[in-house]
Structure 1
Amino acid sequence: MSAPSVYDPNSPGEQPIPLPNAPIRRISERLSVQPPLSRRGHGPGLLIFLPRLSGEVPASNRQKPLDPEPVQKWAEEGFAVAFVEGAQDLGTPDLLAEAAGALIDLGDLLDTKDKFGVVVYEEAVIQSVYQAVSNDSRFNCIIAYSAGLTSVESASNIPLLLHTPESGLKSTSPSATHHSYPVASPSFVLPSSGDYEPGSAALAQSRSLVFLRNHLGGPHFDLEAIWNEHCYFEFEDRSVAKTMATMVEEPYVNHIPTVSAIQVAPAPGLQGH
């Protein structure tokens, strides 16, 4: 059957296709789990610590960011996400054990049951989380957003990826990788924060994703196959619904101006000058 020449939202090929959907599971008063939201349907486990502000509604005079909040974003990247909010007063070692158990209970939705990553957006708990992770071999890497992390134990061998404002201080840990950004606050990565900076947030997310893939062994996707499928539905099958089904819930494109260069032959009489 040939591709349609005009868009007809009522045609069989344009019926909405559901995106991956897995409801959040409430484990306890302090802990919840979001299964992966990729079509792959399974992935490595993450435990993330969120500040209370992650649930705030952006100011009315500020355009709503296109980026989702961290839980949804990591789930769309293919991770199984256990998360807590505002965890300053929680017993971190017990919380790690509870989170590991909740992730393991996902069964086939979890790729590995003895290797998890940690992402800390709540600066107040970075020190206690880092110490607890050092004593639990199931959590083998940590990412932290901080204004200046200086007190982590330098003797720890847990791989640490640290994101800070340019004014932030480096960790003393020999296993730490440090990146700084032209931002005012470590909350620059949270879309609900007034300090959100999309450019720096995207760069930090990309670096974090590479870091986690290196230490957790995934998730890995066949990007060429995904792109070919997307292009087929858009340009050959010409189905809006099927094209949208290859993307995330809120897809967007970063438009980057392209600089083109041409080679010009020297004008007569200028050769050799």
Structure 2
Amino acid sequence: MTGQWIELTTADGGAFKGYLSVPASGSGPGIVLLQEIFGVNASMRSVADYYAEEGYVVLVPDLFWRLEAGVDLTYADADVAKAMGFNQRFDVERGVEDAASALAVLRARPECTGKVGALGFCLGGRLAYLMAARTDIDCVVSYYGVGIDTHLAEAQSVRCPIVFHFAELDRFVPEESRARIQEAFAHRPDAELYSYADCDHAFASPERVSFNKSASLMAHSRSIALFRKVMGPNYDLDSLWQRHSDLEFIERDVDATMATMVPQPYVNHIPTLTGGVGYRDLHRFYKNHFIPKNPQNAKVIPVSRTIGADRIVDECLLCFTHDIEIDWMLPGVPPTGKYVEVPLVAIVRFRGDKLYNEHIYWDQASVLVQIGLLERGNLPVVGAESAKKLLDETLPSNTLMARWTESAPGAAEQN
């Protein structure tokens, strides 16, 4: 997905540019994306395209235009020094006004249907907060906004839902600053503040050495949850996942299965490290090693399904007779003819209305016990018992714990 540069005008008659990225659907709610101190660089444009995939019309105004138009810096040391210089000379008050002008332009665009939120990083995180206090923006997400604590007198003017993301080790937003911000919004149920342990400033930027993937994913899910709640678009993830599963297990149509996913998806079956990353390898995996390699009587029994803003957690039982070599679960193991029941958990992440990735978990030891490849002996493993207890919690617990009887009431006195 690629965007385009458009012309923006300000309330005082100025003209500058902004990077606009539009979802494949052609329209959606809007997001004003507010830059770091490095300008509207490749990283910010990538974020814009990312949120466009999520269904938003994203506008990134060039807020350094009054200093120098088209600033596009990398994160190399020489450019860091330049970025710091721009930051020192930047007029925050004019910057908020220019962001408000961008908001007006975005709302007037035919592609923008519905509400508009703001998303900012670093300097942009502070500007996003100030937009919440000074404009009629519908919601705001602020990533490690530097200097917010110097504007807390305006906290009472914030009338929209807001999410703050901070890094525990961020020297630019130290603990005392985060504490003041948290205190200022402690009474607000529509204000969420998250601090990410062992993370530093710019933890959500893949191009930076401080990038923390797990924290970045958590923060993105929380951000999407706010945007979906306030602005939409709301997708029927349950139906999308069910359709994908039917194409895999019932219709067994590889191309149709791939059509339910983003252009570059990935699947990881955690216990066996099978799956694929990217369209080509995942298509190859589905075509040759997954869809045709499932037992004829394979059946999925749903147990529970949790649906979030951008993902589904599916808990189920996978039941089958081992009548074929199952490349993805039991690679290299000839059919044993044994019947298997195993609990399985799928964490399925979406980007917009397409599947982005799947993490699939099951107890491989239980499978190996049931097909006769693993002797229980003194090992703390079970076979089909785990599946049966999943459906019937009244079945015995702690049968593998030889010392369980020792903690029974009255056991100490008897000994």
Same fold (TM over 0.5): yes
Alignment partners' CA distance in 2, 1:129 and 1:264 = 52
Alignment partners' CA distance in 1, 2:200 and 2:145 = 7
> What secondary structure is seen at the aligned counterpart in 1 of 2:203?
helix
Structure 2 CA distance for partners of 1:173 and 1:27, relative to 1, 3 Å: farther
Alignment of 1:46-195 (within 5 A): 46-51=31-36, 52=38, 55=41, 69-84=46-61, 87=64, 89=90, 91-105=95-109, 107=110, 109-112=111-114, 115-121=115-121, 123-137=122-136, 139-146=137-144, 149-152=148-151, 153-158=154-159, 159-167=161-169, 168=174, 169-170=177-178, 171=181, 173-174=184-185, 175=188, 176-195=191-210
Bigger-Rg structure (1/2): 2
Shift of 1:41: 4.7
**Residue 102 of structure 1 aligns to which amino acid in structure 2?**
L
Shift of 1:207: 0.8
Supply the RMSD in Å over aligned alpha carbons: 3.3
> What secondary structure is seen at the aligned counterpart in 2 of 1:144?
strand
Structure with the larger strand share: 2
Structure-2 residue corresponding to 1:10: none
> What secondary structure is seen at the aligned counterpart in 1 of 2:138?
strand
Higher relative contact order (CA 8 A, sep 6+): 1
> What secondary structure is seen at the aligned counterpart in 2 of 1:202?
helix
> What secondary structure is seen at the aligned counterpart in 2 of 1:250?
strand
Deviations 1:147-192 (A, max 9, x none): 6641232322233211011244321542442100024433111222
Alignment partners' CA distance in 1, 2:184 and 2:116 = 20
Shift of 1:46: 0.6
Structure 2 residue 23 is the aligned partner of structure 1 residue 36: yes
Alignment of 1:183-222 (within 5 A): 183-216=198-231, 218-222=232-236
Structure 2 residue 271 is the aligned partner of structure 1 residue 244: no
Alignment partners' CA distance in 2, 1:180 and 1:100 = 32
Alignment partners' CA distance in 2, 1:85 and 1:96 = 12
Deviations 1:51-95 (A, max 9, x none): 2388468xxxxxxxxxx9321221111111111356454633233
Per the normalisation by structure 1, the TM-score is: 0.71
**Residue 44 of structure 1 aligns to which amino acid in structure 2?**
P
> Structure 2 unaligned runs (5+)?
8-15, 65-86, 267-356, 367-381, 387-396
Q: Is the 8 A contact 1:69 1:190 kept in 2?
A: no
State the aligned residue count. 233
Shift of 1:131: 2.9
Structure with the larger helix share: 2
Per the normalisation by structure 2, the TM-score is: 0.49
Shift of 1:48: 0.7
Structure-2 residue corresponding to 1:25: 4
Larger mean CA deviation between 184-193 and 196-205 belongs to 184-193
Structure-2 residue corresponding to 1:12: none
Shift of 1:125: 4.1
> What secondary structure is seen at the aligned counterpart in 2 of 1:36?
coil
Q: Is the 8 A contact 2:124 2:145 kept in 1?
A: no
